Amino acid sequence: MALTFHTDGDLTMAQQYLDVLAQHNAHVTCFIVGKWLDANPTWAAKLTAAGHELANHTYNHLTFGQLPPAQMNDEVVQCRDLLVRLTGQPGKYFRPSGTDDGTSTPPAAVLQASGAAGYATVLGFDVDPLDYTDPGAAAVTQRTLAAVKAGSVVSLHFNHAGTLAALPGILDGLAQKNLTAVTTSELLA
């Protein structure tokens, strides 16, 4: 299974996420908010050196589905070009910002913008504990473990104290289910 994280926000907290993941030998996919990485460029190497996969989550994290097509293209390309500049590659996956539906086929305009920028896959998710609504760590853990199965893609977020607090319990629970958190590329290989 794969844990995927909307990645931005406070750096001290981000480091704490990395520490918990390392303690559990878990590798995840970081959907990068471009403007955050642009402001904190050393985090590209920090995340990849820790074994995590970087992916494109737009530059400004606007409500992507409501943007005109040209701005959709700009948002994907600006984050892509930053990833290429900092890591040498664009990453394999795109996920639109501001989307709460992880299972439906994305709108044609989203697929068009993604494909035009070189991303064949718009990565959704089948497990969504709504951690960004800050329901508390126990709820995030319980919702995730209740829904996760082999092959699942879970949507989680950096910069949320409840998610950080939930992470050890999620990783312990995955181990009890004999599930291993791997990068999306490994999962879909």
Backbone angles phi, psi at 183, to 5 degrees: -70, 160
Supply the minimum distance, in Å, between the C-beta of residue 65 and Zn ion: 13
Minimum Å distance from CB 25 to Zn ion? 26
Rule CB under 5 A: which residues touch Zn ion?
6, 97
Q: Which residue is nearest to Zn ion (CB)?
A: 6
Nearer to Zn ion, 78 or 97 (CB): 97
Closer to Zn ion by CB, 143 or 160: give it.
160
User: What b/e sequence results for 11-32 when a residue is b if at least 16 CB atoms lie within 10 Å of its CB, and e otherwise?
Assistant: beebebbbebbeebebbbbbbb
62 vs 179, beta carbon nearer Zn ion = 62
How many CB atoms are located within 10 Å of the residue 121 CB? 15
Q: What is the dihedral of CA 100, 101, 102, 103, to 10 degrees?
A: 170
Nearer to Zn ion, 60 or 180 (CB): 60
Residue 7 Cβ vs Zn ion, minimum distance, rounded to whole Å:
9
What's the closest the beta carbon of residue 124 comes to Zn ion, in angstroms? 13
Q: Phi-psi category of 54—alpha, beta or left, where left has phi over 0 and alpha has psi -120 to 50?
A: beta
